[in-house]
A = this chain, B = another copy of it.
Amino acid sequence: MIKVTLIGAGNVAQHLISTFLTATDIEIVQVYSRNPTTIIPEIDSKKIISNFSDLKEADVYIIAISDDAIASVSSQLPFENRLVVHTSGAAPLDSLNGKNRKGVFYPLQTFTKGKPVNFKVIPMCLETSIPEDYPILEKVATAISDNVHAINSHQRKALHVAAVFVNNFTNYLYQLGNEICIENHVPFDILKPLILETAEKLLTLSPKEAQTGPAKRNDVSTIEAHESFLSNENQSTIYKILTQSIQNHGKKL
């Protein structure tokens, strides 16, 4: 049984708490929250604390808070030489205060408040400042996920940037698609099966193999028809730049 304490009560913390409660090898020792009323109801209220001085011994302290607050919170912990990890894709390992052993416990997923996620398939990206701590963190991760990876800080940075492309930017393209539907009085729902299939295709094809469309085929008349259809300047700019980028992709400049 590994003893885990959560520090934070935001979206990621709440999802971790829910999944740790179902894991047989994990004991949640405590949950720290500045505002204890926000903690999910399933947790025993005696375990919820709001003073760092009440923190008990645990094998791992997981800080799941905003990146900006990691340095400050980790410096306020009233103990030394314990394993303290953060859950951020973007924050460096060294944003954690040096008085404790450092690590990263980064679940690479987008969490929506109130929507349960299946942690078994979520990639858990782990890093520890000293190799001896890796097996401890790995045990915590494998207790909830079948998809555990040792990822160093440079790799994590790359994953975080790549995630912006495939998650944030992709969702923004969905938003522009939705906008075009609204402006032309067609239900956006009509596009949802296509959106799902586009994502699911990656399970059998690489994105390069899956690439289709007028830009890829260099179908100039369709591209021109689309450009003249789009009267919104923002949509039109994004259309042109992504089309050109697809057309030039892989070509030597």
A→B interface (CB under 8 Å): 67, 90, 108-110, 112, 115, 117, 121-123, 125, 147, 149, 151, 154-155, 157-178, 180-181, 183-187, 190-208, 210-216, 222, 225-226, 229-230, 234-235, 237-239, 241-242, 245-246, 248-249
C-alpha gap A202/B170 in the complex (Å): 12
Q: Which of A161, A162, A222 has the most CB of B within 10 A?
A: A162
Nearest residue in B to A222 (C-beta to C-beta)?
B90
Which of B108, B123, B173, B239 is A170 in contact with, Cβ under 8 Å?
B173
Check if B198 sits within 8 Å of A167, measured CB to CB.
yes
In the complex this chain forms, how many copies of it are found? 2
Main secondary structure on chain A at its contact with chain B? helix
Given contacts A171-B210, A174-B202, 15 further A-B contacts (CB under 8 A): A115-B201, A149-B190, A157-B184, A157-B229, A160-B226, A166-B177, A166-B198, A167-B195, A167-B212, A170-B195, A171-B201, A172-B249, A196-B199, A237-B245, A238-B241
